């Protein structure tokens, strides 16, 4: 079937009836955010009832920060609660994305699976075929990367595939230095150093020295976390192409404002994740497009020796999420478009609240992603401590000296009620000059 025809048919399937705006969009879901714990918390009645019931327990609401009550119906005064904006969760996706309830019976019991690399066009394993096709259709629909001629490797979150890539490259070149330019995702250094001396984290100077000896592995994050810059806007890449690992978990129109700037990439190793595309972090589904089949095999070998293969139930779950996104594209409920509109609107709201406070805390990266860098006049920590809002520290993302103190990362892709708390917290900020008045 031609790609365009297939998309057309998919599009007409579940989203055909959903043309009446946000309320109806929400009503497509099995868990109406408004009804579950007043929209201010989570209670997994369907999913966890039987298991908790085994020990006489019933699912209860776990309220988001600053909400209390049996149904999380009460929002605390903002000066009487603490909220966490340091984790990159994408809870907002619950409000725009849904798929039919998923039934997995006790008969669904697969044997040890070999799906570490998944072949294109191999109908002998229909679920592999379906996953491959779902992913290739999704990439084609947004035109962000080339998949033709690449091997698909599936893993447990981009964590595992980043490690698999580092492993595959370092197996080829020997002990390696791993580098990503500042500001970077805070876990990268730990992930490299844990496997020292095979892989060791490097700063910029050490990375330049490692490149001289051909022992550098460079992680390129585009758009970057937390600066939200595309690769072309960042410092030049140091490592040769075969030693580059492209972390593209945010390379989607859902999480980048100018979708036309997401030009089609054809890098050697390109890694994606359902955590960042759609907020399914605990489900640990990720995939990589790998150009060199030998590198793909080595990455698959890493998956094999660490976790054997991707879990069967989660594979079905992930395909459902991916197909729900795919079905929505080009419809009124276009997942990428709705997500981006919301993230951008939130960014603008935060920017104007901060501007109204006098500018001692500013958003310091372009809007449109689920996080933003913030820059403060002086150390950020006292500002955020005072309003009870936790943000990630500049030091954790590689900044040093004053830059480490004066920067932070604020995440805001959460459920609407959590964002409501963030915006109210920001409204409590006082800049020194205002204090003096």
Ligand X SMILES: Cc1ncc(COP(=O)(O)O)c(C=O)c1O
Query: b vs e for 68-82, b when ≥16 Cβ sit within 10 Å of the residue's Cβ?
Result: eeebbeebbebeebe
Q: How far apart are CA 364 and CA 224, in angstroms?
A: 13
Q: How far apart are CA 392 and CA 410, in angstroms?
A: 7
Contact 365, 229 (CB under 8 A): yes
Contact 192, 200 (CB under 8 A): yes
Size of the site for ligand X (CB under 6 A): 13
Based on the shown chain and the rule CB under 6 A, indicate whether residue 286 belongs to the binding site for ligand X.
Answer: yes
Q: Which is nearer to ligand X, 221 or 295 (CB)?
A: 221
CB of 224 to ligand X, least distance (A): 8
Based on the shown chain and the rule CB under 6 A, indicate whether residue 225 belongs to the binding site for ligand X.
Answer: yes
Cα(first)–Cα(last) distance of the chain, in Å?
Answer: 69
Name residues contacting ligand X, limited to 72-101 (CB under 6 A): 88
Among 39, 157, 253, 388, binds ligand X (CB under 6 A): 157
CB of 220 to ligand X, least distance (A): 10
Q: Which is nearer to ligand X, 40 or 86 (CB)?
A: 86
Q: Which is nearer to ligand X, 284 or 424 (CB)?
A: 284
Q: How far apart are CA 267 and CA 24, in angstroms?
A: 40
Contacts of 96 (CB under 8 A, 6+ apart): 25, 26, 333, 335, 338, 339, 342
Based on the shown chain and the rule CB under 6 A, indicate whether residue 191 belongs to the binding site for ligand X.
Answer: no
CB of 273 to ligand X, least distance (A): 3
Q: Which is nearer to ligand X, 211 or 247 (CB)?
A: 247
Based on the shown chain and the rule CB under 6 A, indicate whether residue 351 belongs to the binding site for ligand X.
Answer: no
Which region, judged by CB under 6 A, interacts with ligand X, from 75-83, 114-122, 130-138, 154-162? 154-162
Based on the shown chain and the rule CB under 6 A, indicate whether residue 368 belongs to the binding site for ligand X.
Answer: no
CB of 157 to ligand X, least distance (A): 3
CB of 306 to ligand X, least distance (A): 13
Q: How far apart are CA 95 and CA 114, in angstroms?
A: 35
Name residues contacting ligand X, limited to 234-273 (CB under 6 A): 247, 249, 273
Give the chain's count of helices (H) and strands (E).
Answer: 15, 18
Which region, judged by CB under 6 A, interacts with ligand X, from 120-128, 156-164, 330-338, 424-432? 156-164
The H-assigned helical ranges of 239-334 are 274-278, 293-307, 312-328
Q: How far apart are CA 230 and CA 208, in angstroms?
A: 21
Which region, judged by CB under 6 A, interacts with ligand X, from 101-109, 157-165, 355-363, 423-431? 157-165
Q: How far apart are CA 312 and CA 104, in angstroms?
A: 10
Q: Which residues bind ligand X (CB under 6 A)?
A: 88, 157-159, 185, 221, 225, 247, 249, 273, 275, 281, 286
């Amino acid at each position: 079937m031609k790609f365009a025809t297939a998309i057309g048919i998919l599009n007409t399937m579940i989203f055909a009836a959903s043309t009446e705006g946000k309320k109806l969009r929400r009503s497509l879901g099995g868990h109406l955010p408004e009804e579950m714990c007043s929209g201010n918390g989570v209670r997994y009645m369907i999913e966890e009832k039987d298991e908790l019931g085994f020990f006489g327990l019933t699912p209860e609401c776990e309220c988001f920060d600053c909400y209390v009550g049996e149904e999380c119906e009460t929002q605390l005064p903002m000066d009487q609660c603490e909220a966490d904006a340091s984790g990159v969760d994408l809870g907002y996706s619950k409000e725009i994305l849904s798929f039919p309830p998923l039934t997995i019976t006790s008969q669904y019991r697969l044997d040890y699976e070999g799906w570490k690399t998944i072949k294109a066009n191999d109908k002998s394993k229909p679920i592999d075929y379906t996953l491959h096709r779902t992913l290739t259709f999704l990439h084609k629909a947004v035109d962000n990367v080339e998949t033709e001629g690449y091997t698909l490797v599936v893993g447990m979150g981009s964590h595992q595939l980043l490690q698999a890539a580092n492993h595959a490259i370092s197996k080829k070149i020997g002990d390696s230095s791993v580098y990503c330019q500042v500001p970077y995702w805070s876990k990268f250094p730990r992930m490299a150093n844990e496997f020292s001396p095979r892989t060791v984290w490097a700063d910029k100077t050490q990375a330049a020295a490692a490149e001289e000896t051909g022992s550098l592995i460079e992680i390129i994050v585009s758009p970057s976390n937390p600066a939200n810059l595309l690769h072309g806007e960042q410092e030049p890449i140091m490592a040769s192409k075969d030693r580059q690992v492209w972390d593209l978990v945010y390379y989607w129109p859902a999480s980048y404002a100018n979708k036309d700037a997401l030009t089609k990439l054809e890098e050697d190793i390109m890694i994606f994740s359902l955590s960042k595309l759609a907020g399914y972090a605990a489900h640990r589904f990720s995939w990589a497009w790998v150009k060199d089949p030998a590198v793909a095999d080595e990455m698959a070998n890493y998956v094999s020796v660490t976790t054997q293969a991707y879990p069967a139930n989660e594979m079905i779950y992930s395909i459902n999420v991916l197909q729900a996104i795919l079905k929505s594209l080009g419809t009124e409920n276009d997942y990428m478009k709705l997500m981006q509109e919301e993230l951008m609107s939130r960014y603008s709201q935060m920017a104007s609240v901060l501007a109204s406070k006098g500018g001692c805390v500013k958003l310091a990266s372009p809007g449109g992603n689920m996080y933003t860098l913030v820059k403060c006049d002086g150390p950020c920590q006292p500002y955020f401590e005072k309003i009870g809002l936790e943000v990630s520290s500049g030091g954790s993302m590689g900044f040093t000296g004053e830059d480490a103190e004066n920067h932070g990362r604020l995440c805001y892709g959460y459920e609407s009620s959590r964002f409501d708390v963030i915006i109210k917290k920001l409204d409590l900020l006082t800049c020194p000059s205002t204090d003096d008045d």
